[in-house]
Structure formats: structure tokens, C-alpha cells
Amino acid sequence: MADLPPIAEVTAPDAAALDHLLRTATGPFVVRGLVADWPLVQAAKRSSQAARDYLVDHHRDVPFTVSVGRPGSGGRLFYDDAMAMNFATVRARLPDVLGEIDRGETSDDPRPIYLASIDMRGFFDGLDEANRVDLGTREPLASIWIGTRTRIAAHNDQPDNLACVAAGRRRFTLFPPDQFRNLHLGPLDNTPAGRAVSMVDFDDPDPTRFPRFAEALAHAQVAELAPGDAIHIPALWWHHVEGLAPFNILVNYWWRDQPRWLGQPQDALHHAILAVRDLPDDQKRYWRALFDHYVFDADDGVTAHIPPGGRGVLDPLTAASADRLRNFLLRQLAK
């Protein structure tokens, strides 16, 4: 790919400065050295083996879920020609997984090994507490990602994300949310990790098969991170992530500013495909207008004529009314 503009770099000397950046950001940014003092980062700077030993010292003796790819894949965890996954998902003990990574670290073509989105508090003792970013009043999910050289197709996430490189190097290529059409997305229900991904091979893009990708690149930004560096990926921004070193560790924090009891928009999209997409065109136009009225363009005029106390879910949702609505939907879907 052609050279892309860099993601903006900012400074955050303390938790208050980082909080201000996260609250006011209108796009992604990089903070160099944000977590340089982490014990895990310091271990990784000594050696990959020191970082692996540090993880083993803190791990719980439980099976970990690990993705194992094929030699010759270039680290790309993706689909095969039949649209099945080109990797297997197995369960294994962390020392065994890290031992396999150690044995393949000097290989010219090791098979990709990837532990993705491992809950730090659920699978380690003291790791999160010793290696943590102060995010103020936010209540993030802290996850760790451990693996060999990998290429993870461009995808997006609903929560905001602060990703911190603890070992190795990571390259992030980011696209604004509105570039989804130009990224040529794959299936919604058959995905490598739960989110639709770009079908474009960023190392060898095919302009005939993916003619709109050039337009996506016109809006792309890129950053390469070293141990201790962090990147903020705002909600819904598309990101293609590459682990560039033989051994890589990333710690990330996900959070949503919206209440946890709200539903997931992805579920609504799936339900709309089930209930609306294949209707006749005139009916789809009606439902599009109704969605605009009640959801996308909703204002006080939607409920002004209904007496207070009788508006049901048309009033702003609360935890209680959201729970009632969720139970109603479950009953409807079970019919």
C-alpha cells in the first residue's frame, strides 16, 4: 500500500490529561510511552522469554482458548477458499502455548498462534492490578492479546478502545466509521471473531475484486507502536491490526459511555435482516420511514400527543423499561 498519513500523536502526563483527551477526542490518537513503566513492558524489553515468564508467573492454571493457524498463511487469521476459518480453535494451558511460541520464534515460517481477548482478571492473578491504566470513573473490560506474527482483518467494535503495546510491535491502520462500504465487508454471521471483517488482503489488495478499497485508503491513517505505546480507537472506527514481531503482547481496555443495560445495535441489525430486508420494496419503504420516525429522527413530536405515563418504551429508556422490552423481545422471538 502507498504511504498513509500518521495517526495524531498527543501527550498525557497524568490520568487527568488522558481523561480529557478521551472525553474530547474526535478521532484516534497515539500516546507514546503511556505504559512504559509497566512491569510487563519492562520484562518484554529485557527479552521475549522474560515477558513469557512474567505471564506464566501470574497465570491461573485453567485452559486458555487459542487460535492456531497454518504455516504459509503469512500470519493472516482469516477465511480459507471455502469461507471456513483458516485456523483451528483449541484449549490449552498457557505454559504449553507459550512454549510452542518459544520453539517457533526462530522459524522462518511458524504457524500463527494467537490468544485473543483474554480476560485479565479471569485468567491471571495480579496481572491487571500491576499493569493498568487509570481511566478514572470508566469501568472498562481489560483484555490481553498474546501471539506470534499475525494479521487481523479490518473490523470495528461498538465500545471505545485504548490499546497498549506491552511486547513486540503493532501496526494499526484505521478508517473512519463511514468507510464500511469501501472496505468490502464479509458475512455478518460467519466471522473470525464475531464482527464483520474486510475481505481485502491489505498486503495484496485486488483492485478488480475490491474496486472501492482505493477510496477507503484515501481516508486511512496508520501508526506503528512499540512497547509502552498506546492508541485510542474510538467506537466504530475500523482497524486492521498487525503483530510485527515474532512475539507480541497487547493489553486493551473497552468501555461504553452508554448504560450497560442498553441493547447491542448489532443484534438489531440481525433482526432487521430477519424481519425487514426481504419484504417487498413498498413495505421496506414504510418500515424505513417508521424507523426514522421512532429511532433515527425521533423528537418530542413523536410523543407530544400521548399523555405522560402512557408512553411506554417511547419514553427514554431506564434499566427497568429496558429489561421489560428485552423480555418482550425474547418472548416474541421464541414464538
What is the pLDDT at residue 2? 64
Q: What is the pLDDT of residues 15-33, one digit of tens each?
A: 999 999 999 999 999 999 9
Question: Is this prediction's pTM over 0.85?
Answer: yes
Query: What residue spans define the domains of the chain?
Result: 9-255, 265-333
CA distance 125 to 175: 36
What is the pLDDT at residue 264? 93
**166 with 133: CB under 8 angstroms?**
no
How many Cα atoms sit within 13 Å of 44 on the Cβ side? 24
What is the pLDDT at residue 105? 85
Q: What is the CA radius of gyration of the chain?
A: 22
Superfamily of domain 9-255: Jelly Rolls (2.60.120.10)
Q: Which three cell numbers stand for residue 197?
A: 471483517
User: If phi over 0 gives left and psi between -120 and 50 gives alpha, with beta otherwise, what is residue 238?
Assistant: beta
Count of beta carbons in the 10 Å neighbourhood of residue 139: 10
Q: Which residues of the chain have pLDDT under 50?
A: none
CA distance 30 to 42: 20
What angle separates helix 94-104 from helix 48-58, to the nearest 10 degrees?
170
What is the pLDDT at residue 109? 77
Q: What is the pLDDT of residues 19-78, one digit of tens each?
A: 999 999 999 999 999 999 999 999 999 999 999 999 999 999 999 999 999 988 999 999
Phi/psi at 292 (nearest 5 deg)?
Answer: -60, -45
